[in-house]
Amino acid sequence: MPADNQPVPSVWARRPRRREQPALSRDRIVAEAVRLLDEEGLEALSMRSLGTRLNAGATSLYRHVAGKDELIELVVDEVYGEMRVPDPGDPAAWRKAAADCAHSLRAMVLRHPWVASVLGQAGLASLGPNLTRQSERMLALFQSAGFTLDEADQAMNTLIAYVVGMGVSEAAYLSVLARSGQSEQELLAGLRPAAEQAVQDHPRLREGYRARWDRDPGQVREENFTYGLERFLDGFQTRLAR
């Protein structure tokens, strides 16, 4: 008798079956974990919640990922793959290349605000394929500028620390903004009376607030980041000149 007791051995004659769950893979698990984190935040991430989104039991996930800690390592490495590190190219152009790298890292952090808060939990994430590849490229960039390998490593870590440090506060602010359901301009307009009252007796703060009230807040944040970045690069350039 043909399979499933079908009188005709044809797919068109076979009774429809419930669609089977496609085989899981680590890549698929990691991609869905990144989507979950982007949409719902770190608090929502668990093996159970991820399994629900994948229509799979947590046990199935454990065949590919040992647990949440390992998952954090994987998602951190995954999003670092989005970062752009220019080729060293002309040694004289190292400063622009380093700035481009820093802006790319900041953009990645702001696309994935949760990443800044999990870097300390990421264990040996630095051994991941994306992080090792990006680190190798950044070291080549700083070596092309004239740093020794040891100092290139220090310069790279210093630059990353600045970007991530700035990104932590900016990402936290943008998360609050997202939860508010308001645009940035709307949120700041609502805070304006309280802010003006708070700085009433502080003339320097008052002047600074007034200078920024009517400006695009996203542009202000970009300028603040770039100012600090340029001062870091000034320091690197001074060090190279010695």
Which structural domain, as residue segments, surrounds residue 50?
A: 3-65
> Quick one: pLDDT at residue 62?
86
Do 93 and 193 sit in the same domain of this protein?
A: yes
If you ran DSSP here, which 8-state letter would residue 57 be given? -
Residues ≥6 apart with Cβ < 8 Å to 71: 29, 30, 33, 45, 47, 50, 65
Whole-number pLDDT of residue 112: 93
CA gap 175, 113 in Å, rounded: 7
Q: CA 188, 192, 193: angle at the middle one, nearest 5? A: 150
Q: Are residues 217 and 128 in the same domain?
A: yes
- Are 114 and 78 contacting, i.e. CB atoms less than 8 angstroms apart? no
Domain of 25, CATH number, reads: 1.10.10.60
Same domain, 104 and 220: yes
Whether residue 172 lies inside any domain: the answer is: yes
- Domain identity same for 56 and 175: no
Q: What is the CATH number of the domain that holds 225?
A: 1.10.357.10
Q: Over the chain (242 residues), what is each successive 10-residue block's mean pLDDT? A: 50 44 82 95 91 87 86 92 89 92 94 82 72 94 95 94 90 85 89 91 91 89 96 95 86
Co-location of 58 and 88 in the same domain: no
In this prediction, residue 10 carries a pLDDT of 39
For the stretch 154-160, contacts whose Cβ atoms lie closer than 8 Å and that sit 24 or more positions apart, written own/partner, are 155/236, 158/232, 159/98, 159/101, 159/102, 159/232, 160/105
By CB neighbour count within 10 A (0-12 exposed, 13-18 middle, 19+ buried), where does 21 fall? exposed
**Residue 115: CB partners within 8 Å, gap ≥ 6?**
75, 76, 79, 108, 109, 171
Question: Is pTM, for the whole model, over 0.85?
Answer: no
State how far the Cα of 158 lies from the Cα of 167, in Å rounded to an integer: 14
Q: Please give the pLDDT value at position 219.
A: 93
Same domain, 231 and 115: yes
